[in-house]
Amino acid sequence: MSSHLDSLRQYTTIVADTGDFESIREYTPQDATTNPSLILKAAQMDEYAELVEKVLAEDGNEMTESLDKLAVFFGLEILKIVPGRVSTEVDARLSFDTQATLDKARSLIARYEKNGVDRSRILIKIAATWEGIRAAEELEKEGIHCNLTLLFSFAQAVACAEAGVQLISPFVGRIMDWHKAKTGNEFAPAEDPGVQSVTLIYNYYKKFDYATEVMGASFRNTGEITELAGCDLLTISPNLLDELQSAPGDLPCKLSEETAKQSGCEKVSLDEAAFRWELNQDACATEKLSEGIRRFAADTVKLEDFLKAKMD
């Protein structure tokens, strides 16, 4: 009998949201994503001690070099397992600096290419700030494809599509977390504000023929995932992949290009002032974007401290 995970694969590309190689092997996803929090968690695991030591041995005491090489080393190992792409994140502390983001993205791609990996297999993860979106627009013109992350609002999604980015990662669970904290409500999957946000973005992209891929992310339960069956991609943590694999039966497709074309979306265009205003008007997106950048930056500092301790 097929499982919910088997059924989901018929409609949606499955991406592993982890830095743990064994979990990726177990669930055979098409792609994989990493971020500073996942790299920090994996780097502290005994089975990856040798990889960390290799980074430190090659890079001496230059912390920026060590962080970049560690991210790329994890990416290289993941690419040996998945047939598709891996996402590698730009330092969140650069989220409001377009030029620094461009420089870091080019440096990461150069490291992959030096190791024989074509840039088509890499997605550079960048926070969906105005500055990050502008950097992604330029990188896409250079054939460096981007995954715009920490995306919590329709305004961010519109700006990313207009910039021609490859892929966006709207954070379903964190949107739900915010609304739950504000209202005290428990949300059924179909009424989940994060699910509704991704559904709106998906319908808008398909109705107006944007090529940007939608990858739902940051799930809290399998109900959120199954409500988005049909989304271009879904990046799912190992524990939720396990639940989906253990659940027998078929799932219906909830999102499709056909239904999107019939949706009532209206075309919007945003310049910088309009983007900043719309983001400002969305309290959830404003708070969660700032919080997400702070959290990723904090985990990057923790990773630096972890590597410094290894150097001593």
What is the domain extent for residue 70?
4-311
Q: For residue 1, name the pLDDT band (cuts at 50, 70, 90).
A: confident
**Better pLDDT: 57 or 202:** 202
Convert the pLDDT of each residue in 202-227 to its tens digit.
Answer: 999 999 999 999 999 999 999 999 99
118's tokens? 């074509």
Q: Report pLDDT for 60.
A: 57
Give me the pLDDT at residue 213, please.
98
Q: What pTM was estimated for this model as a whole? A: 0.95
**Active-site position among 69, 104, 125, 206:** 125
- Mean pLDDT over 114-139 rounds to 98
Q: Is 192 exposed, middle or buried, given 0-12, 13-18 or 19+ CB atoms closer than 10 A?
A: buried
Tens of pLDDT along 242-269?
A: 999 999 999 999 999 999 999 999 999 9
Mean pLDDT across 37-44: 89
Q: Please check whether residue 89 is in contact with residue 36, taking contact to mean a CB–CB distance below 8 angstroms.
A: yes
Q: Judge whether 125 counts as a catalytic residue.
A: yes
Q: Which of 31-40, 59-68, 290-299 has the lowest mean pLDDT?
A: 59-68
pLDDT recorded at residue 224: 98
**What is the per-residue pLDDT for 58?**
75
The domain tally of the chain equals: 1
Q: Is the pLDDT of residue 99 over 90?
A: yes
Flag whether pLDDT at 59 surpasses 70. no
CA distance 95 to 156: 14
Distance CA 209, CA 194 (A): 22
Report the chain's mean pLDDT, rounded to a whole number.
95
